[in-house]
Amino acid sequence: MIRKRPKPRPFTLALFAGVLAVALINAPARAAAFPLAIGHDWWLNTNYAAHGRPMDTIFVAIFWLTTVIFIGVQAVLVWFLIKYRHRKGRTEKGVYTHGNARLEMAWTLIPTVILIALVFWTKRVWDDYRYSPISDDPSRVKILVIGEQFKWNVIYPGPRNKIGRYLLYPKPTDLKWPTLPDGKSFDYEFPNVPGPAFLPEEHARQALDKFLAANNPLGRDFTDPDTNPDPAGTDPELASLNSYGKTVGRIIVIPKGRPVEIQLGSRDVIHDFFLPNFRTKLDVVPGMRGRLFLRTTDDCPGPREYTLEELRKVIQVDHFDVLALINKDTPKADYYRPNRRKPGYYRFSKNGDTILRENSMITLAVLNELKAAGVEKVPGAIAYDLVCEELCGIGHATMQGKLVVLDEAWMKEMPYKYYFPPAATEPAGKVAMAQN
Ligand SMILES: [Cu+2]
């Protein structure tokens, strides 16, 4: 009798297919870490928000709870598949059962208890995040971020730590033309028409679109003193702090360890503001003002001097971008003014060419040039990712930003000295007086 090779069992096939699928999914992205490497690359990225720790704990707890249950259920499934498989010569019939009340009570009550416990645990963590205790801390600093297809506009508060009024747009039914930054009204297109309401709607819309694009893309209320950090215009840097050209794609700077309120608004469609390293995420809805609160953890890396080797590790292994914080005190850095009109900056250079300038991102290519130029240390700050997690249009994936955590000493350095009022050592009234 010829013995046939046994056919592969369905279970063996399924197991093989599963392993293959996991390998294929992981192979291109994680070639170095194949198969499922358990390391920080595979697990959650590092958290630097105070509210993020209980969030991560609950994530890990639910992950292991569901993993254990999943493995248990699958094991029973496989065991039953094997135990009750078809065998030749087996003739007994299956037994019909109407169930087991005790068993059914157990598998209903146990998940109920688990889920109720998760509800209360999650609610506590959620409340700490969404209704944060720092939401009415008077010393919190405020930032307004306005999403737009496809960029983030970042607006800092004035000296009174107030954001001012934004996203207020004129309507074609308005009886008067909107006000320009200099206080004059916008009527140069139609000098004899008192307002858009007196034009056919299509013309009114066109005129207002032109006005907005040229003068006020973010709908600033120029009559609100808090919207203009320096209404008198005595300090050009301060006066232009929140001008449209500067707000676009600007880095979000937050002070280390201080409570932060991030306000969110949208110019057009729904975006989604997500800071992965700070466990902070909220949809940005047109017509609504979202509010997020966070405080960095004490171990959140602030600005410091990095050696070139440390930088290489941070960039290549930890996958962070690093912002160069070069200033007058940085060894080997020189001051450079391209020409009379352009502002100057500090930089590392070789043979007159700029290798790295202040507030630019340090890349691996730059590191090699710095080494060749004899630079040993560069002051820098990790630039954390800000992404839009909403499919907000064709450029959604390019809608990225950066967040930098600075301490008070670096806050005083240019160009951040105006970004926030100083921490609460001085009473708020004194700060406002000094600036007025
Ligand atoms: Cu978006």
Q: What is the mean pLDDT of residues 275-295?
A: 94
What is the pTM assigned to this prediction? 0.79
**Mean pLDDT (the chain, rounded):** 84
Ligand 1 geometric centre to CA of 270 (Å): 7
Q: How far is the CA of 283 from the centre of ligand 1 (A)?
A: 9
3-state percent helix, strand, coil for the chain, nearest multiple of 5: 35, 20, 45
Q: 396 C-alpha to center of ligand 1: Å?
A: 5
> Picking from 23-27, 89-93, 285-289, 323-327, which range would have the lowest pLDDT averaged per residue?
23-27
406 to each of 66, 122, 230, 277, 413, how far by Cα in Å?
39, 31, 24, 15, 10
CA of 346 to the centre of ligand 1 (A): 34
How many angstroms does the Cα of residue 62 sit away from the middle of ligand 1?
Answer: 30
**What pLDDT score does 99 carry?**
86
Q: What is the pLDDT of residue 322?
A: 94
Banded pLDDT at 21 (limits 50, 70, 90): low
**What residue ranges do the domains of the chain occupy?**
11-43, 304-388+400-405
Distance, in Å, from the CA atom of 59 to the CA atom of 64, rounded to the nearest integer, reads 9
pLDDT at residue 185 in the model: 65
Cα(224) to ligand 1 centroid in Å equals 28
Q: Are 256 and 32 spatial neighbours (Cβ–Cβ below 8 Å)? A: no
Q: What is the pLDDT at residue 32? A: 39
Question: Rounded to the nearest whole angstrom, what is the distance from the C-alpha of residue 201 to the centroid of ligand 1?
Answer: 30
Name the residue with higher pLDDT: 423 or 397: 397
* Å from CA of 153 to ligand 1 middle: 12
CA of 278 to the centre of ligand 1 (A): 19
Give residue 246's pLDDT. Answer: 83
Q: What pLDDT is stored for residue 435 in this prediction?
A: 38
- Please tell me the distance between residue 286's alpha carbon and the centre of ligand 1 in angstroms: 12
Q: In the predicted model, is pLDDT for residue 2 greater than 60?
A: no
pLDDT, tens only, 368-420: 999 988 899 999 999 999 999 999 988 888 899 999 999 888 887 766 777 88
Please give the distance, rounded to the nearest whole angstrom, from the Cα atom of residue 154 to the centre of ligand 1: 14
- State the distance from the centre of ligand 1 to the C-alpha of 328, rounded, in angstroms: 38
Residue pair 239/277 in contact by the 8 Å Cβ criterion: no
Residue 436: which pLDDT band, with cuts at 50, 70 and 90?
very low
Strands 334-336 and 304-307: unpaired
Q: Dump pLDDT digits (tens) for 125-147.
A: 999 999 999 988 888 999 999 99
How many angstroms separate the alpha carbon of residue 172 from the centre of ligand 1? 27
Distance 150 CA to ligand 1 centre (A): 6
Q: Which is higher by pLDDT, 113 or 158?
A: 113
What is the distance in A from the centroid of ligand 1 to the CA of 166?
Answer: 19
**Amino acid at residue number 175:** L
Q: Give the pLDDT band (50/70/90) at residue 176.
A: confident
200-229: pLDDT as tens digits = 999 889 888 888 888 888 988 887 878 777
Beta bridge partner(s), residue 291: 263
What's 140's DSSP letter?
Answer: -
pLDDT band at 27 (very low <50, low <70, confident <90, very high): very low
Taking the centre of ligand 1 as the mean of its atom positions, its distance from the CA of residue 69, in whole angstroms, is 37
Q: How far is the CA of 399 from the centre of ligand 1 (A)?
A: 6
426 confidence band (pLDDT: 50, 70, 90): very low
Least confident of 24-33, 193-202, 332-341, 417-426: 24-33
Would you state the pLDDT for residue 142?
92
CA of 295 to the centre of ligand 1 (A): 24
